[in-house]
Every structure is written in structure tokens, then in C-alpha cells.
């Protein structure tokens, strides 16, 4: 047998990921040899690396390229979602600076792990093959398990990490089982190959089994009902900067992965996955709306809020048309901005004797810190979907896509659930503006205030630039149609 040298694959499409991987290893070296005093510098370099990676993505070509034998795809959809993920990671890192100093959290491994999680998410968004999906997902999940229990001396954080790990391992098992079934019945792992085989041979029970298991594994990652059980405990137990990170970027990445998987690999099976997505979407919206009512801890409240928001985003996917994917993308943009802003506000909830996280601690905030109360109020109106805030615009696009596809019951249930959900968001506004004042918070650090101002203003004024955002989202959605 002759030995021939393999040709080097085209690395350029994966340049941002490669840059981040090398950067993460370099920063780990810097931290390990420089000692704990370098953690601020490592954090700064990590944010700079993310900005460079985002710039590479934005300045590169806008065409669709694949590499590594079609396992890795870089198309307009992947680019847009990767930029969103990078924004989520970068802002979470920036927000953690002040918190890290006060809470003895400033260890150089934190930014390095966030970078590695970001690589995992970017690989998920570019995955065009079942093996690539699994590896990207595991890279991201494993990092998130570690980050959840990063405050290892806190019992709650350890519990959060352990719960997340055990349930995450279960969901990975389901995902792998589904993948093995799909591989067994098609003989293919690439998305294109699966779609072609299903197209030729028709939809059998075996591959439907596989599809359902894969969707179960993936919906766990976006904490959609019935795979949401871990969310409130992990959100509450994890250190707040980690919760902000968990709630923002990984949700965008996992949702992008689900969209690509059902739109390319399982495109010929739309009747099958639409049922599953519709079911999951209804359950998430309803459970998220009702279960949040009784919450007293604002981090738990945000957990249920994110469950219901993922339900709304899935409404657009259930529609299965181009308008639906546009809706999902716009919804994710608004969700990312609202989540980052709200967590900037939650991290600002700090008194002299430490951080507080009860909703009642916000009482009378308008008298002690009017700008924060107004901005958080805007974000709450936006999360509730009050017109014409950003959150309303996201809901508008997903529901109109569902109606266009004839899914009237889904749209009606969604609107009713958002009315129920409005109760607890507006209750926070009422507590901030009309209740007896609780002791004032300490002055928040400038980076938290900056994130809060940016996201509050973005949500308040989004209605003026819906046009350009929609154009970008449509260009991204055209990757599939």
C-alpha cells in the first residue's frame, strides 16, 4: 500500500475558533506562570481575543464555505449566531470584573474557561455533522459544569454543578443514542448525507426514534420543558456572573444548533419534528409563565423566564418557514440583550454586607437609584413583551410566522402565556416604584452600569431600527431556503 501525504484542510473558515483556542492556551500559561495577580490582565486579554474573533467573522466573506470534509460549515446563519455568542461571552466577562474583586472570584481560569466554552458554542453553530455536533456540545457543556461550581467552597454552587453535570450527562446519553439510531438507519453522519438518504428512502420508524432522542438531548441544552428541571437550581446556585453567562450565550448557540439540525439534516422529516417542537414550545411557554409567579429569588425568576422565552423562540421554529427562522433570530437578539441587561442589574444588587438576590430587595429602588430603576423597568416591560419594546418585536415576528404557517392554536396559547408572564415582570416594576424603600444598594461598578444602559436603551429604541435587523436576520435565514 502506498503512503501518500494527506493535504492540509482549508483552515481559514475556522480561523476565529483556532485563534480563540490558541489564545485560551496562551492565557492559561500567562495565568499559571504569572500567579493570581494576573487574573485582571487575563480577563482583559480574553475580551480582546473575543473582539478580534468577532471582527474576523464580520470582515470575512459572506458566502457559504465548508471545510474538514463538510464537517464544518461557515454560512451567514453561523456567522450571525457566532457574533451573538461572542457578544454574550464578551459582555459576561466584562461584567464579572467588579464582582470578581469583591467576591474573591478573581481567578485566571475563569476567563480561560469562558473562552473554551465560546469555542464549543462556535463549533456547535458551525456543525454540519453529527460527530461535530456532539463534540462541540460536549466542549461547551463540560466547561459550563465546571463554571457552575466555580465557587467550590459554596455548598450551593457545588450542588448546582453536580446537578447540572448528572442531568447533562443523561441528556448527552439520549443525544448519543439518537445519533446512533440515525447513523444506523441512514449509514451517514453528515447532515447533507442524512437528508439525502431520508429523501430517497422515506421516513421510517427507526429514524423518527433517533430524531426524537436527538431533539430531547438538544432541548435539554436550551432548558425547554420537559427537560428544564436543572435550570432554577443551577441558576440560583451558580455564581451570578456564571449565571449571566449561562443564560445568555449557550442558549443562543443551542438554539442555533437546533435550527440548523432540523432545517438541514431533518428537512425531509418536517412533519415529525414540527410536532415535537410545537409540543415542547407550548409546555415551555405555559410552565415558564405559571411557575415563575411564586418565585421570591430573582435568579430563580430569571430561570423560569428563560424557560418561557425559549418556548417563544421555538414557536418561530415550529412554523418551519423562512419567516419563522427570521423570527427565531430576531427573538434571540432581543433575548440576549434583555438577559445581559437584567443580569447587569442583578449583579448591581449589593449592599455593604454582600450581594442580595431576593426580589423584595428591589423595593423602592426608584427613590434610591432612579436611573437603575427606570432601566430595569424598561427591561421588565421588554421581557413581558409590552409594545413597542424590543421584546414585543421579537414576539411579533415569531407569532406572525406561526400564523402564516397556520399554527393558530400555538400562537393563541403563546399570547395567553405571555399575558400570564407579564404579571410577574410587572410586579417587579411595581415593587421598584411603589413599595416602601429597602436600604439602598452600593454604587454599582461602571461596567455593570454601562451594560445596563446599553441594553436598556437598545430595548427601548429597537423599534426604530427593526428594518436593518430584519434584513440581517433574513440574510442569515436564507442559508436554509
Among residues 9, 387, 409, 437, the one that binds another protein under rule CB under 8 A: 9
Scanning 53-61, 199-207, 257-265, 413-421 for contacts with another protein by CB under 8 A, the matching segment is 199-207
d(CA 335, CA 251): 9
User: Which of the 8 DSSP states describes residue 38?
Assistant: G
Scanning 41-49, 112-120, 222-230, 447-455 for contacts with another protein by CB under 8 A, the matching segment is 112-120
Buried/exposed 193-211: b ≥16 CB within 10 Å, e otherwise: bbbebbeeeeeeeebbebb
Scanning 69-77, 424-432, 447-455, 472-480 for contacts with another protein by CB under 8 A, the matching segment is 69-77
Among residues 39, 74, 172, 190, the one that binds another protein under rule CB under 8 A: 190
Q: Is 59 in the site for another protein (CB under 8 A)?
A: no
- Compute how many other C-beta atoms are within 10 angstroms of the C-beta atom of residue 263: 23
| Cα–chain center distance at 372 | 25
Scanning 67-75, 79-87, 273-281, 351-359 for contacts with another protein by CB under 8 A, the matching segment is 67-75
Question: How many residues are listed for the chain in this entry?
Answer: 481
Scanning 129-137, 239-247, 308-316, 418-426 for contacts with another protein by CB under 8 A, the matching segment is 129-137
Q: Is residue 107 packed enough to be buried (19+ CB in 10 Å), middle (13-18) or exposed (0-12)?
A: middle
Q: Is 193 in the site for another protein (CB under 8 A)?
A: yes
Among residues 50, 71, 160, 452, the one that binds another protein under rule CB under 8 A: 71
Q: Is 226 in the site for another protein (CB under 8 A)?
A: no
Among residues 173, 187, 406, 439, the one that binds another protein under rule CB under 8 A: 187
Classified as helix, coil or strand, 190 is strand
Q: Is 201 in the site for another protein (CB under 8 A)?
A: yes
Classified as helix, coil or strand, 67 is strand
d(CA 457, CA 451): 10
Closest contact distance (angstroms) between CB of 53 and another protein is 15
Classified as helix, coil or strand, 127 is strand
Pseudo-torsion of CA 270, 275, 276, 281, nearest 10°? 110
Q: Is 155 in the site for another protein (CB under 8 A)?
A: no
Q: Is 317 in the site for another protein (CB under 8 A)?
A: no
Scanning 140-148, 293-301, 370-378, 380-388 for contacts with another protein by CB under 8 A, the matching segment is 140-148
d(CA 389, CA 458): 9
d(CA 116, CA 122): 10
d(CA 278, CA 312): 10
Q: Is 188 in the site for another protein (CB under 8 A)?
A: yes
Strands 65-67 and 350-351: unpaired
Closest contact distance (angstroms) between CB of 146 and another protein is 4
Among residues 28, 238, 269, 345, the one that binds another protein under rule CB under 8 A: 28
Among residues 23, 136, 268, 324, the one that binds another protein under rule CB under 8 A: 136
d(CA 150, CA 158): 8
Closest contact distance (angstroms) between CB of 194 and another protein is 9
What sections of 60-190 are H helices per DSSP? 76-102, 109-126, 130-148, 155-186
Scanning 149-157, 219-227, 332-340, 362-370 for contacts with another protein by CB under 8 A, the matching segment is 149-157
What sections of 385-465 are H helices per DSSP? 390-404, 408-434, 446-461
Classified as helix, coil or strand, 105 is coil
Q: Is residue 386 packed enough to be buried (19+ CB in 10 Å), middle (13-18) or exposed (0-12)?
A: middle
Scanning 94-102, 181-189, 213-221, 438-446 for contacts with another protein by CB under 8 A, the matching segment is 181-189
Judged by CB under 8 A, the number of residues near another protein is 46
Closest contact distance (angstroms) between CB of 172 and another protein is 12
Closest contact distance (angstroms) between CB of 188 and another protein is 5
Among residues 112, 318, 323, 473, the one that binds another protein under rule CB under 8 A: 112
Among residues 42, 84, 100, 116, the one that binds another protein under rule CB under 8 A: 116
Classified as helix, coil or strand, 297 is strand
Q: Is 1 in the site for another protein (CB under 8 A)?
A: yes
Q: Is 2 in the site for another protein (CB under 8 A)?
A: no
Q: Contact 274/320 with Cβ under 8 angstroms?
A: yes
Residue whose C-alpha cell reads 429604541 in the numeric block? 461
Name which of 265 and 462 has its Cβ closer to another protein.
265
d(CA 267, CA 265): 6
Q: What angle do CA 286, 382, 232 make, to 5 degrees?
A: 45
Q: Is 74 in the site for another protein (CB under 8 A)?
A: no
How large is the C-alpha radius of gyration of the chain?
22
Closest contact distance (angstroms) between CB of 478 and another protein is 26
Closest contact distance (angstroms) between CB of 21 and another protein is 6
Closest contact distance (angstroms) between CB of 182 and another protein is 11
User: Interface with another protein by CB under 8 A: which residues?
Assistant: 1, 6, 9, 14, 21, 25, 28, 68-69, 71-72, 107, 109, 112-113, 116, 119, 123, 131-132, 135-136, 138-139, 142-143, 145-146, 149-150, 152, 161, 184-190, 193, 197, 201, 204-206, 209
Amino acid at each position: 500500500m502506498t503512503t501518500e501525504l494527506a493535504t492540509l484542510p482549508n483552515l481559514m473558515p475556522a480561523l476565529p475558533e483556532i485563534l480563540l483556542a490558541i489564545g485560551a492556551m496562551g492565557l492559561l500559561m500567562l495565568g499559571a506562570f504569572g500567579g493570581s495577580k494576573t487574573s485582571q490582565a487575563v480577563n482583559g486579554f480574553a475580551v480582546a481575543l473575543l473582539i478580534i474573533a468577532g471582527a474576523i467573522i464580520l470582515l470575512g466573506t459572506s458566502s457559504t464555505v465548508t471545510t474538514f470534509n463538510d464537517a464544518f460549515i461557515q454560512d451567514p446563519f453561523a456567522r450571525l449566531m457566532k457574533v451573538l455568542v461572542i457578544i454574550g461571552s464578551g459582555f459576561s466577562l466584562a461584567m464579572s470584573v467588579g464582582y470578581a474583586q469583591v467576591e474573591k472570584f478573581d481567578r485566571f481560569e475563569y476567563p480561560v474557561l469562558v473562552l473554551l466554552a465560546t469555542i464549543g458554542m462556535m463549533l456547535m453553530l458551525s456543525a454540519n455533522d453529527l460527530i461535530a455536533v456532539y463534540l462541540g456540545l460536549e466542549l461547551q457543556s463540560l466547561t459550563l459544569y465546571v463554571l457552575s461550581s466555580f465557587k467550590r467552597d459554596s455548598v450551593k454552587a457545588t450542588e448546582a454543578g453536580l446537578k447540572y453535570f448528572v442531568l447533562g450527562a443523561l441528556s448527552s446519553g439520549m443525544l448519543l443514542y439518537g445519533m446512533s439510531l440515525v447513523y444506523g438507519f441512514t449509514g451517514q453522519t453528515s447532515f447533507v448525507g442524512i437528508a439525502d438518504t431520508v429523501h430517497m428512502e422515506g421516513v421510517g420508524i427507526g429514524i423518527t426514534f433517533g430524531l426524537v432522542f436527538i431533539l430531547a438531548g438538544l432541548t435539554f441544552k436550551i432548558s425547554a420543558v420537559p427537560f428544564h428541571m436543572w435550570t432554577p437550581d443551577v441558576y440560583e446556585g451558580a455564581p451570578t456572573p456564571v449565571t449571566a453567562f449561562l443564560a445568555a450565550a449557550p442558549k443562543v448557540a443551542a438554539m442555533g444548533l437546533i435550527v440548523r439540525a432540523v432545517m438541514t439534516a431533518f428537512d425531509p422529516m418536517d412533519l415529525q419534528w414540527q410536532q415535537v417542537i410545537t409540543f415542547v414550545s407550548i409546555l415551555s411557554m405555559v410552565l415558564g409563565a405559571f411557575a415563575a409567579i411564586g418565585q421570591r429569588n430573582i435568579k430563580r425568576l430569571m430561570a423560569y423566564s428563560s424557560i418561557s422565552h425559549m418556548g417563544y423562540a421555538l414557536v418561530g421554529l415550529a412554523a418551519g418557514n423562512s419567516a419563522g427562522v427570521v423570527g427565531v433570530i430576531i427573538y434571540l437578539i432581543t433575548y440576549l440583550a434583555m438577559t445581559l441587561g437584567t443580569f447587569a442589574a442583578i449583579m448591581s444588587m449589593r449592599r455593604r454586607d454582600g450581594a442580595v438576590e431576593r426580589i423584595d430587595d428591589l423595593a423602592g429602588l426608584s427613590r434610591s437609584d432612579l436611573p437603575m430603576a427606570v432601566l430595569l423597568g424598561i427591561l421588565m416591560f421588554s421581557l413581558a413583551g409590552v409594545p413597542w419594546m424590543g421584546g414585543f418585536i421579537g414576539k411579533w415576528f415569531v407569532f406572525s410566522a406561526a400564523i402564516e404557517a397556520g399554527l393558530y392554536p400555538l400562537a393563541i396559547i403563546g399570547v395567553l402565556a405571555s399575558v400570564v408572564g407579564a404579571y410577574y415582570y410587572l410586579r417587579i416594576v411595581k415593587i421598584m416604584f411603589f413599595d416602601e424603600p429597602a436600604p439602598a444598594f452600593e454604587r454599582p461598578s461602571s461596567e455593570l452600569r454601562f451594560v445596563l444602559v446599553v441594553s436598556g436603551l437598545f430595548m427601548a429604541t429597537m423599534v426604530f431600527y427593526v428594518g436593518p435587523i430584519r434584513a440581517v436576520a433574513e440574510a442569515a435565514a436564507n442559508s436554509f431556503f
